[in-house]
Amino acid sequence: MKMLKIYQVDAFADRVFTGNPAAVCVLDQWLPEETMQSIAMENNLAETAFTVLESEGYHIRWFTPEVEVALCGHATLATAFVLFNYYDFPGTVITFSSERSGLLSVEKGKDDLLTLDFPVDTLKEIAPVAQLNEALGIVPEKTLKGKTDYLLIYAEEQQIRDIEPNFSLLNKVDARGVIVSAPGKEVDFVSRFFAPQSGVSEDPVTGSAHTTLTPYWSAVLNKNILSARQLSKRGGNLSCELRGSRVRISGHAVPYFEGQIHL
């Protein structure tokens, strides 16, 4: 029987039971894809991250309970936390490579603040999507489409709080997920993220969604450094900075448990 170390970390959180939980497995070599998918399904978290140290640095992959995804922010943050705190990573910047998203990095700063450096999403405004409007029960002011997600813009924070999606309808939308967003009362913007198509009805705090949200709100508010809050039940706060074709997304992480998988 093979024993595999596993960690669970709450990302974009300063205390347990908040932010977004992710599982992290640091491997000596890659497991079969079906095994990694089975582990993610067994964990039943929004994402499980797997990373392997290769000759050019760490390679990373992310799995929901149902599919492998192209990019995941909170699980990358959690992976960096594990490498810094349990694997004695010697520097302050960890560079990850992803076949689907290119080079990514996480920097450890003052007071253990972790900052993701991700590629910016490309956005295009499109006509309203009737299926989305029906599933969410409210018509947005704008509908935009990024590489993998829809972004729906509303007028007020309370509208975002009040949305109760029809997930059976939302599950039929052809996208990784759906971001809903509005100006915030105490922060620059607020959001929620729904991804039943990927096996996650509502994601607590979605780092990758902020590669879409940051360029949009940066243009609207005419500022490059923004404060953000994801209004899920667990909730999470993020600091975002647009730097040309990259987005820097900062937050803290806290450990929940470490254990072993029996394979």
Cβ atoms of 78 and 253 closer than 8 Å = yes
Asked if residue 156 belongs to a domain, the reply is: yes
83-98 average pLDDT score: 95
Domain count, the chain: 2
The Cα 32–Cα 150 span in angstroms is: 31
Residue 156 falls in the annotated catalytic set? no
The Cα 147–Cα 154 span in angstroms is: 20
Q: How many CB atoms lie within 10 A of CB 108?
A: 19
User: What does DSSP assign to residue 31?
Assistant: P
> In which domain, by residue range, is 18 found?
3-120+249-262
pLDDT averaged over the chain?
95
Cβ atoms of 33 and 41 closer than 8 Å = no
Q: How many CB atoms lie within 10 A of CB 253?
A: 27
What pLDDT does residue 56 have? Answer: 80
Cβ atoms of 248 and 240 closer than 8 Å = yes
DSSP string, 96-148: EEETTTEEEEEEE-GGG-EEEEEEPPP-EEE---HHHHHHHTS--SEEEE-SS
What pLDDT does residue 1 have? Answer: 80
pLDDT surpasses 90 at 57: no
Number of residues in the chain: 263
Q: Which residues lie across from 238 on neighbouring strands?
A: 228
Smallest CA-to-CA distance from 215 within 181, 177, 241, 239 is with 241
Cβ atoms of 68 and 33 closer than 8 Å = yes
What pLDDT does residue 151 have? Answer: 98
Same-domain status, 81 and 132: no
Asked if residue 161 belongs to a domain, the reply is: yes
Same-domain status, 54 and 106: yes
Three-state DSSP at 20 gives strand
Same-domain status, 195 and 210: yes
Cβ neighbours of residue 194 under 8 Å, at least 6 residues apart?
A: 165, 167, 170, 177, 178, 180, 201, 202, 203
Where does the pLDDT of residue 198 fall: very low under 50, low under 70, confident under 90, or very high at 90 and above? confident
Given the residues 33, 34, 42, 47, select the one marked as catalytic. 47
Same-domain status, 116 and 129: no
What pLDDT does residue 197 have? Answer: 82
Same-domain status, 138 and 108: no
Asked if residue 243 belongs to a domain, the reply is: no
Smallest CA-to-CA distance from 154 within 125, 189, 122, 196 is with 189
| Token pair listed for 37 | 């998918």
Q: How many CB atoms lie within 10 A of CB 192?
A: 21
What pLDDT does residue 199 have? Answer: 84
Q: What is the per-residue pLDDT across 109-158, written as a single tens digit (0 to 9) for each? A: 999 999 999 999 999 999 999 999 999 999 999 999 999 999 999 999 99
Beta 68-69 vs 93-98: how paired, if at all?
A: unpaired
Stated pTM of the model: 0.89
Q: What is the per-residue pLDDT across 213-252, written as a single tens digit (0 to 9) for each? A: 999 999 999 999 999 999 999 988 999 999 999 999 999 9
Asked if residue 240 belongs to a domain, the reply is: no
Task: Compare 56 and 37 and report the one with higher pLDDT.
Answer: 37
Residue type (1 letter), 223: K
Check which CATH number belongs to the domain holding 156 and give it: 3.10.310.10
